[in-house]
Structure 1
Amino acid sequence: MPGRTTVVGAVMLRDGRVLAARRSTPPVGLWEFPGGKVEPGEQPPDALVRELREELGLAVTVGAEVGDHERPWPISERLELRLFLVDASGDPAPGDSHDALRWVGPEQLDGLDWLPSDRDALPLVRDQLVTSVLRD
């Protein structure tokens, strides 16, 4: 949306689970799909590659967007969230932005205290998890 900064998040699937990251920066203790802000002149997939390298020490390949890029999830008046499927090589390690990482299955998604925008995306993420299990 015009005037909003885009925040990108990774829907990283592995063995029928998705990676969730608990924030160690405000709002501390809430769970999110790891990622970060898109910098001026940067494309969202490129920002996600950069953010996941910086935050989790991962090399990733960004795939399809989850949801509709024309209607991203609002975070605030100034921020919006877009999620992308991501393939990663290696195991993620929490950096400065997160104090815990957890792989969660579809039945565990609602048990975490998510950031509101990430919580709003859970139905589509759950669909991705179910679809990935059916493919495997």
Structure 2
Amino acid sequence: MTERIIVVGAALYDAGRLLAARRSAPEELAGRWELPGGKVEPGELPEQALVRELREELGVEVEPLERIPGAWPLGRPGYVLWVWTAKLVSGEARPLQDHDALRWLTPDQVGEVDWLDQDRPAVAEAARRLRRA
């Protein structure tokens, strides 16, 4: 049986917008957009991983809010994506690792970027939640 590895993603909100991050690597994902995040390390809670990953990848401090229901398989066996809504607490997001561009999108703009397939359901739900806020 393949071990399940959780990858966390952030539907990061600020001023009524959602952050999209364009992948720069690996080659097969480069140029497509995702919700930023990364792997949960051993002994780490998913929410802790989300805070750490966004600090490392974007240079920001965030507060996880709630998990978006669902778990989406990723391209590697055993890898699964869990997504949390989160709010920006401090810092200005910059593409420090694994990304070459960032965009803050209103709910009506989320369809303007080419999201990774596994992120699309969570992005749709995140946009719905933003519209209600």
Superposition TM-score, scaled by structure 2 size: 0.89
Q: Does 1:96 align with 2:97?
A: yes
**Matched residue, 1:107:** 108
Runs of 4+ in 1 over 4 A off after TM superposition: none
State how 1:6-45 maps to structure 2 within 5 Å: 6-26=6-26, 27-45=29-47
**Matched residue, 2:3:** 3
Once the two structures are superposed, what CA deviation does each residue of 1:75-127 show, in whole Å capped at 9, x if it has no partner?
Answer: 23321111111122121111121100000112211221111110122321121
Over aligned residues, Cα RMSD in angstroms?
1.4
The offset of 1:60, in angstroms, is 1.6
Matching residue's letter, 2:6: T
Aligned length: 128
Which consecutive residues of structure 2, in runs of 5 or more, have no partner in the other structure? Answer: none
Q: Does 1:86 align with 2:86?
A: yes
Once the two structures are superposed, what CA deviation does each residue of 1:5-44 show, in whole Å capped at 9, x if it has no partner?
Answer: 1110111112221000001111111100111011122110
Q: Is the 8 A contact 2:68 2:125 kept in 1?
A: yes
Which consecutive residues of structure 1, in runs of 5 or more, have no partner in the other structure? Answer: none
Superposition TM-score, scaled by structure 1 size: 0.87
Once the two structures are superposed, what CA deviation does each residue of 1:33-80 show, in whole Å capped at 9, x if it has no partner?
Answer: 11101112211001011101111111121111112xxx4122233211
**Matched residue, 2:118:** 117
Give me the identity figure in percent: 47
